[in-house]
Each structure stands twice: as structure tokens, then as C-alpha cells.
Amino acid sequence: MTREILVIGGAGYVGSHAVEALRAEGYVPVVLDNLSGGYREAVGKAELIVGDMGDAALLDMLFSRRQFAGVLHFASLIDVAASQKDPARYYSNNVAATLVLLESMRKHGVAHLVFSSSAAVYGEPEHSPVTEDAARKPVSVYGQTKCMVEDMLAAHHKAYGLHYTSLRYFNAAGAHPNGSIGECHPEETHLIPLVLQAASGRRRSVSVFGNQYPTEDGTCIRDYVHVCDLAAAHVKALESLWNGSASRCYNLGTGKGYSVLEVIRTAERVTGKTIKTDMEKRRDGDPAVLVADGSLAREKLGWVPAYPELETMLQHAWAWESRMAESIRSREVV
């Protein structure tokens, strides 16, 4: 029997890659997305229901008509700076709407959930690489919303027997190697797409936010992890919940960090273009170094990144960016 999985936020960047991963493993993903940060085209052949996770009536209707074997929840707002400016929107979408989802799942006996959390729960970690037992000290509203959902999940597990996995992503990067999907945010703030847009000519240059951090070249170090590896971790997490694994949090990263300047230099190598940079002041709330100790996910979920090299992530992201830039150019010509 085919298993239907509800993928909330499945039209977004990581969610759409998880939809592909589920289909490749023989599951039937059903996407619920309000298209606030995602795209209809990103779900491919999967069924798309346009709607909001906070719409209790819609969820009740869905859960009463369909037999979902599990839920993947990607439907968070992710812009750290925006979360500081408009916290109510972040608490409402990321926390309150998740509570609506949990209530509806409980009411309809849907007991397995995989949640997209973030390294933002750690804030400025005291040790690197970071293990899951490090203190959670978020420095942004965005990070707080992830902590609040993790706390709600733990309480629902204890009180109502919800089986959950919370996956703390480090820096998602890359695109599907088949070229069909990739990163496309309505307002791009992430380093790699911005660097590649500068290479393709969609932007004049890329800003480097700070070069006086206590790192070798003075720029921030991040642990980039291929989006297909993140997607694969969701399938493994769900399967391991079905097999009776404990409900808990895992870090998802490769354990290797790259500085902002290393990312730019690698992108120049991959694209064969010179990328112009503008040195800017630090961005608020950026930790100097954020690198995962991902050994728990390897040990307990059997998760081994298939594309651990930054160069491969950039090659896949560059193929995607070249396609985007070309389609924009051809629209301009018409």
C-alpha cells in the first residue's frame, strides 16, 4: 500500500526537495502550502493544496478525509532580520499555527511528525562543533520560535504520545542535481544565492558582512549542507519514527565550516567568473562560527551526506542559478 505523507511548506526550498525525495522512495507526498514563500512549480507532479497551516477547518477536513502516515513540517518564516522587525508575524506563523497543526493531528490520531528546526536555536554557541546538548540561547525572534516549537513537541510527546523528530539545519545550500528545483526566495538574503546572482550578472556585487571576526580571514564561518541531504534526512527520520525510535532533536550539518570569503572564492572557481565584493559592517545577530557536530544523526538515523563538498553544492546551485538568469533574460527579450 502506498503511504501518503502530508508535506506542509512543500513548495518552498527545502520542502520541495523533500517532496522529490519522498517520491523517489515510493511515498505519495501531498503538499499543503500557502505559497507565501514557495512556488506552485516547485512541487512538480505532487498534489498541491493551497492553504494555511493555521486554518483549523482546512486541517480537520484534510485529516478526516485522508490517511496520512506522517507529517513533514517546513512551513516557517525564515528571515532573521524580519523576525526582529515584526515579531508578532513570526510568533503567529511559526508558533501559533504549529499549535493548530498539533491539535488537529492529535484530534485525528496522526502521531508522526518531522519538524524543520534550525541552528538558530543555539544563538552564539560556546563550543564548536555544536552538539545537540549545547545550551539553547537564541539571539533572534526567529530562533526563539524554533525553540518554542521544540518545547511544544516535547510536551506533546510526553502528554499525548506524539512521535516527533526535530531537525536542526545548519546552512542549507545547493539545488537538485537534476536541475528541476533549487533555491528561490521572494527576497533573497542568503549568501550562496546572492554570490551566484553576482556571478550570473543578476547583481552587481555581493556584500561581505564583517571581516573582523575572530576567524582566520576575519569573515564568518558556516557549515553548508546540501539541500538534498537535508531532504533525505527527513525521510530517514520519519522511517525511524515508524520503527520506534525515540523522539528527539538532531543537528544536520557536515561538520566542516567555510568562511564567507572561502565561499566566494570557491564560487569563482566553479563559475569561472570574477565576483565583485563590497565590504560592509557586521549584520546583527551573526555568530562568528556555526559548525555542527552531526554524529548523532549519522549514528541514530544512518544519515550520511551524499554531497558533503561545498564545491558540489555550488555546482548544483550554479546550474540552477544559470537557468533562472536565462529564463529572466528570455522573458526580458520577449
Residues 89 to 118 in contact with ligand UFG, rule: CB under 6 A: 118
Instruction: Answer yes or no whether residue 313 interacts with ligand UFG by CB under 6 A.
Output: no
Nearer to ligand UFG, 201 or 302 (CB): 201
**Catalytic site includes residue 142:** yes
Q: Per DSSP, what are the bridge partners of residue 29? A: 5
Chosen residue from 8, 43, 101, 119 binding ligand UFG by CB under 6 A: 119
Instruction: Answer yes or no whether residue 275 interacts with ligand UFG by CB under 6 A.
Output: no
Q: How do strand 68-73 and strand 289-290 relate by DSSP bridges?
A: unpaired
Catalytic residue, from 122, 142, 224, 307: name it.
142
Residue nearest to ligand UFG (CB): 220
Chosen residue from 189, 205, 212, 327 binding ligand UFG by CB under 6 A: 189
Residue 171 phi/psi, 5-degree rounding, is: -95, 105
Instruction: Answer yes or no whether residue 286 interacts with ligand UFG by CB under 6 A.
Output: yes
Contact 278, 205 (CB under 8 A): yes
How many residues interact with ligand UFG (rule CB under 6 A)?
A: 21
Q: How far apart are CA 137 and CA 264, in angstroms?
A: 30
Which amino acid, one-letter code, is at 100?
A: V
Instruction: Answer yes or no whether residue 264 interacts with ligand UFG by CB under 6 A.
Output: no
Q: How far apart are CA 289 and CA 295, in angstroms?
A: 18
64-83 footprint of ligand UFG as x/- string (CB under 6 A): --------------x-x---
Contact 220, 259 (CB under 8 A): yes
Instruction: Answer yes or no whether residue 149 interacts with ligand UFG by CB under 6 A.
Output: no
Chosen residue from 92, 128, 180, 207 binding ligand UFG by CB under 6 A: 207
Q: How far apart are CA 172 and CA 228, in angstroms?
A: 9
Stretch that binds ligand UFG, among 36-44, 96-104, 204-212, 234-242 (CB under 6 A): 204-212
Nearer to ligand UFG, 101 or 208 (CB): 208
Query: Cell triple for residue 273?
Result: 567568473
User: Scanning the structure block, which residue is given the C-alpha cell 512556488?
Assistant: 39
Instruction: Answer yes or no whether residue 120 interacts with ligand UFG by CB under 6 A.
Output: yes
Contacts of 150 (CB under 8 A, 6+ apart): 115, 117, 121, 136, 166, 249
Stretch that binds ligand UFG, among 6-14, 100-108, 152-160, 282-290 (CB under 6 A): 282-290
Of 233, 245, 253, the C-alpha closest to 295 is 253
Quick one: 272 exposed, middle or buried, by C-beta within 10 A (0-12, 13-18, 19+)?
exposed
Instruction: Answer yes or no whether residue 260 interacts with ligand UFG by CB under 6 A.
Output: yes
**Interaction site with ligand UFG (CB under 6 A):** 78, 80, 118-120, 142, 171, 189-191, 194, 206-209, 220, 222, 260, 283, 286, 290
Catalytic site residues? Answer: 142
